[in-house]
């Protein structure tokens, strides 16, 4: 059994072979600034489960969201410029309107913006 924290600031994910998902996603504001638990303590209430090939997110007052974890997004039309807490810019992939219904969930892209 492994433990990982796939979404920065959110709860743990436990299961076989989940370590590869550690720190793969993060939550950002509509302005694409990174959300951190110091400013948004309810991030820690996000529950993660791995089932049927999806990472499932749940939290009080939130609709369930299922992420497909093993997709590499190379469509540049969904790349966005985000800013880390110190203002450093980096590239994320916008996961779309459904993910944005509560917050924008973005994947850290290895590509340079």
How many CA atoms within 13 Å lie on the side-chain side of 45?
7
DSSP code of residue 98? H
Average pLDDT over residues 88-97: 78
φ, ψ at 78 (rounded to 5°): -105, 5
Q: What is the pTM of this model?
A: 0.71
- What are the Cα distances from residue 4, in Å, to 31, 61, 113? 27, 24, 27
Please report which confidence band the pLDDT of residue 93 belongs to, taking 50, 70 and 90 as the band edges.
confident
Render pLDDT for 10-54 as a digit per residue (tens, 0 to 9): 999 999 889 999 998 888 888 888 888 888 888 888 999 998 888
Alpha-carbon distance of 4 to 19, in angstroms, equals 5
């Amino acid at each position: 059994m492994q433990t990982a924290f796939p979404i920065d600031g959110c709860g743990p994910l436990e299961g076989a072979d989940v370590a590869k998902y550690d720190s793969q996603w993060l939550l950002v504001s509509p302005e694409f600034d990174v959300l951190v638990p110091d400013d948004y303590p309810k991030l820690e209430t996000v529950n993660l489960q791995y089932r049927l090939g999806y990472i499932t997110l749940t939290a009080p007052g939130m609709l369930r969201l299922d992420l497909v974890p093993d997709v590499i997004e190379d469509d540049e039309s969904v790349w966005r410029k985000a800013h880390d807490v110190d203002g450093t810019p980096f590239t994320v992939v916008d996961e779309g309107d459904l993910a944005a219904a509560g917050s924008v969930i973005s994947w850290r892209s290895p590509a340079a913006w």
